[in-house]
């Protein structure tokens, strides 16, 4: 069953160790060259378009929890570094407002710790938002690909349209085959 659902994204992505050029320090095989990222197959088949969309959405669903877990671990680590710094270098004045003070020589270190913490807190908000934007983008691309595949499967729908190309637009394409693809995109834009 997996063979039927394979869209080709995972083929050729295996990293094979380079045994001919071992690491000079350890003698262990070094990682082989990273293969180029595969390009998405052109979706002229409706089933292929749907499978590609499902795979892309599944990949986002799989990686968001991993990314959030990494960010949570980074925040915990940043919190621990700040607590350790506070325990080591702060001096609390016994006053009603409980001011905390530090020696001036530690100010830069504290500022760096707080800046790092702030960036991690910001990432906790931005990463899920960017995943959501990516979901919308994937859906938009899916709809465009699906409409294109549908129009390629049933070109008579496009032929029945009232859309006309000007002579200058046809000349810009160079051939009828070249004119077909952009006209499909224009046809699919209102959706």
- Model pLDDT for residues 73-90, shown as the tens digit of each residue: 999 999 999 999 988 887
Task: Tell me the pTM.
Answer: 0.57
What is the total count of domains within the chain?
A: 2
How many other β-carbons are positioned within 10 Å of the β-carbon of residue 78? 19
Taking phi over 0 as left and psi of -120 to 50 as alpha, with beta for the rest, 174 belongs to left
Q: Which residues contact 28 (CB under 8 A, 6 or more apart)?
A: 22
Per the structure, the complete domain to which residue 183 belongs is given by 154-191
C-alpha span between 98 and 106 (Å, rounded): 19
Report long-range pairs for 51-55 (Cβ below 8 Å, ≥24 apart): 51/5, 51/7, 52/7, 52/142, 52/145, 53/138, 53/139, 53/142, 53/145, 53/146, 55/7, 55/9
**Average per-residue pLDDT in the chain?**
77
What DSSP line would sit under 64-96, residue for residue?
HHHHHHHHHHHHHHHHHHHHHHHHHH-EE--ST
C-alpha span between 19 and 30 (Å, rounded): 7
Q: Could you tell me if 171 and 119 lie in one domain? A: no
Tens place of pLDDT per residue across the chain (191 aa): 333 444 444 444 444 555 666 766 666 666 666 555 444 555 578 999 999 999 999 999 999 999 999 999 999 999 999 999 988 887 766 666 767 777 788 889 989 999 999 999 999 999 999 999 999 999 999 999 999 898 888 888 777 666 677 778 777 877 777 766 644 455 444 44
Q: Could you tell me if 55 and 119 lie in one domain? A: yes
**Helix (H) or strand (E) segment spanning residue 101:** strand 100-101
Q: Could you tell me if 101 and 183 lie in one domain? A: no
**Helix (H) or strand (E) segment spanning residue 31:** strand 30-31
pLDDT of amino acid 86: 86
Q: Could you tell me if 120 and 55 lie in one domain? A: yes
Residue 3 domain-assigned (yes or no): no
């Amino acid at each position: 069953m997996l063979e039927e659902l394979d869209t080709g994204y995972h083929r050729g992505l295996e990293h094979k160790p380079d045994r001919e050029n071992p690491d000079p320090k350890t003698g262990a095989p070094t990682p082989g060259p990273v293969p180029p990222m595969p390009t998405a197959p052109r979706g002229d088949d409706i089933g292929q378009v749907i499978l590609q969309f499902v795979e892309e959405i599944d990949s986002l669903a799989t990686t968001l929890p991993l990314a959030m877990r990494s960010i949570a671990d980074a925040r915990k680590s940043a919190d621990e570094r700040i607590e350790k710094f506070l325990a080591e270098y702060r001096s609390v004045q016994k006053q009603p407002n409980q001011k905390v003070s530090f020696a001036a020589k530690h100010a830069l270190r504290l500022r760096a710790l707080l800046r790092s913490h702030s960036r991690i807190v910001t990432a906790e908000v931005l990463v899920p938002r960017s995943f959501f934007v990516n979901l919308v983008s994937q859906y938009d691309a899916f709809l465009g690909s699906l409409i294109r595949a549908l129009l390629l499967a049933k070109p008579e729908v496009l032929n029945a349209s009232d859309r006309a190309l000007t002579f200058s637009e046809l000349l810009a394409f160079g051939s009828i085959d070249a004119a077909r693809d952009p006209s499909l995109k224009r046809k699919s834009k209102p959706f």
